[in-house]
Amino acid sequence: MKTTKILSIKIDVDTERGTRVGVPQLVSLLKELEIPATFFFSLGPDHTGRALKRIFRKGFFAKVQRTSVVSVYGIRTLLNGVLLPGPHIGKCHADLMRKVQAEGFPVGIHCYDHIKWQDGVAKMPEVAIAEEFGKARVEFKRVFGVEAQAAAAPGWQANIKTLAVYDQADLLYGSDCRGVRPFYPRVGEKIFKTLQIPTTLPTLDELVGLSEFPLERLNDYYLSLLQGDYPNVMTIHAELEGMKYLSWFREFLLKLKQNQVEFCDLETIAHNYLKDQEQIPICEMVQGTVINRSGFLAVQDN
Ligand SMILES: [Zn+2]
């Protein structure tokens, strides 16, 4: 008997431009193909330009060459927060965000300030993380009128302190790490109560431009990675699959449908797992690496 393969699309929205241009394009594509997905918004100032600092970090040059950062993000975005004041995404695009939710897509917190979290959270004290996440929650509530139920950390930057902050926020689930299947995270002796649903698949920017994966072969490669035992989770970016790679993403989704892959949003996956909490494993969350991504990030030790 063939097992059904379930894929959950998790959309990280990093920038003002991604929110304004990428998000509406993804909404209309997903609606056309009747595919559920979950959007995670950056709610505060867009300081993407500060990512220029990362150019000096090991591993970034190769990625710049492979994905062509300027053509993906645009010059304006790269200057935000450096030479230009960073636009406040929640203030600029609250209506657009509400429209995404009104179209039936669950929404959650990606962050308040993407660069601050991605580059800083590993070294930030818990009280500073609580303050930063608190700002995101306040802005989320202002935009959507309800408390956020879910969060997905920028760059999979999660640790013992961020998990403690999530637990205090009474979230339904978090999606902050790379791994194999949903679990309750443990760091050292501490077990956390917020369900983690990890990203199981490589991201497009980890594959694009590698000689062994020309774009036309990526569909088949992704299909070969899907497994039947647990929900597959793919993180996409409004700035990539919603813009420069939109036509590739459309072909990819059509191919998945042809192959009888079923789609499910993360909220539904969380509710299904939480119906039977005894079955949810406790797994260590560690700091690890993934191929073609620079630096350390949170990984499930299954
Ligand atoms: Zn992000």
pLDDT digits (tens, 9 = 90+) for 61-78: 566 556 666 666 676 666
CA of 237 relative to ligand 1 center, distance in Å: 7
pLDDT digits (tens, 9 = 90+) for 231-253: 999 999 999 999 999 999 999 99
pTM: 0.91
Task: Judge whether 1 lies within some domain.
Answer: no
More confident residue, 34 or 53: 34
More confident residue, 58 or 116: 116
Q: Where are the alpha helices (DSSP H) in the chain?
A: 16-17, 23-32, 60-67, 69-79, 89-102, 114-120, 126-144, 160-168, 204-207, 215-225, 246-258, 266-274
Task: Judge whether 19 lies within some domain.
Answer: yes
**Residue 45 confidence (pLDDT):** 94
CA of 278 relative to ligand 1 center, distance in Å: 32
Residues contacting 146, CB < 8 A, separation 6+:
none
Task: Judge whether 41 lies within some domain.
Answer: yes
Task: Judge whether 198 lies within some domain.
Answer: yes
Q: Where are the alpha helices (DSSP H) in 33-67?
A: 60-67
Domain of residue 281, residue span: 6-301
pLDDT digits (tens, 9 = 90+) for 100-156: 999 999 999 999 999 999 999 999 999 999 999 999 999 999 999 999 999 999 999
CA of 2 relative to ligand 1 center, distance in Å: 35
**Residue 232 confidence (pLDDT):** 98
- Name the helix (H) or strand (E) containing 141: helix 126-144
Classify the C-alpha dihedral 276-222-118-264 as positive or negative: negative
Record the tokens describing residue 252, joined without a space.
């990819």
CA of 156 relative to ligand 1 center, distance in Å: 8
d(CA 253, CA 101): 21
Into how many domains does the chain fold? 1
**Residue 201 confidence (pLDDT):** 98
Quote the DSSP letter at residue 83.
T
CATH of the domain at 32: 3.20.20.370
Protein residues near ligand 1, an ion, with CB under 5 A? 12, 14, 154
CA of 236 relative to ligand 1 center, distance in Å: 9
